Amino acid sequence: DAGVIQSPRHEVTEMGQEVTLRCKPISGHNSLFWYRQTMMRGLELLIYFNNNVPIDDSGMPEDRFSAKMPNASFSTLKIQPSEPRDSAVYFCASSPVAGGVGNEQFFGPGTRLTVL
């Protein structure tokens, strides 16, 4: 298996622009997680899905952030409009077991976002 696939790997954009990050989870996995990582705050859980349904989005920082999972093999994280403080590495992870955040998660390589 190719593991969790994220695209793009790097994104540089200007403040105010819309940014869309994409994730393909490991086939057969039932849970998908979006994280943000910065030097100051470490890893933060933004949102997670079980069987394509959003379960907990309390970590989404603002209404500018939205996430969708239209099917079991694809998810997007959108930031509109983007701001410089959104600059971070965004990770997607998937887990073979639905229902809990404590199960092992398999992380993608991340998308490094820079907002100028």
Partner 1 sequence: KNQVEQSPQSLIILEGKNCTLQCNYTVSPFSNLRWYKQDTGRGPVSLTIMTFSENTKSNGRYTATLDADTKQSSLHITASQLSDSASYICVVSPNTGNQFYFGTGTSLTVIP
100 binding partner 1? (CB under 8 A): yes
For residues 94 and 33, the answer to whether their CB atoms sit within 8 Å is yes
Nearer to partner 1, 40 or 62 (CB): 40
5 binding partner 1? (CB under 8 A): no
What residues form DSSP beta bridges with 77? 21, 67
| Measured distance CA(15)–CA(4) in Å, rounded | 28
107 binding partner 1? (CB under 8 A): yes
Q: How far is the CB of 65 from partner 1 (least distance, A)?
A: 18
The interface region with partner 1, picked from 14-22, 62-70, 75-83, 108-116 by CB under 8 A, is 108-116
Given the structure tokens 């490094």, which residue do they identify? 112
- Phi and psi at 52, nearest 5°, equal 75, 0
For residues 103 and 31, the answer to whether their CB atoms sit within 8 Å is yes
Nearer to partner 1, 67 or 108 (CB): 108
Neighbouring CB atoms inside 10 A of 12's CB total 12
The interface region with partner 1, picked from 11-19, 22-30, 35-43, 70-78 by CB under 8 A, is 35-43
* Residues binding partner 1: number (CB under 8 A): 21
Nearer to partner 1, 10 or 85 (CB): 10
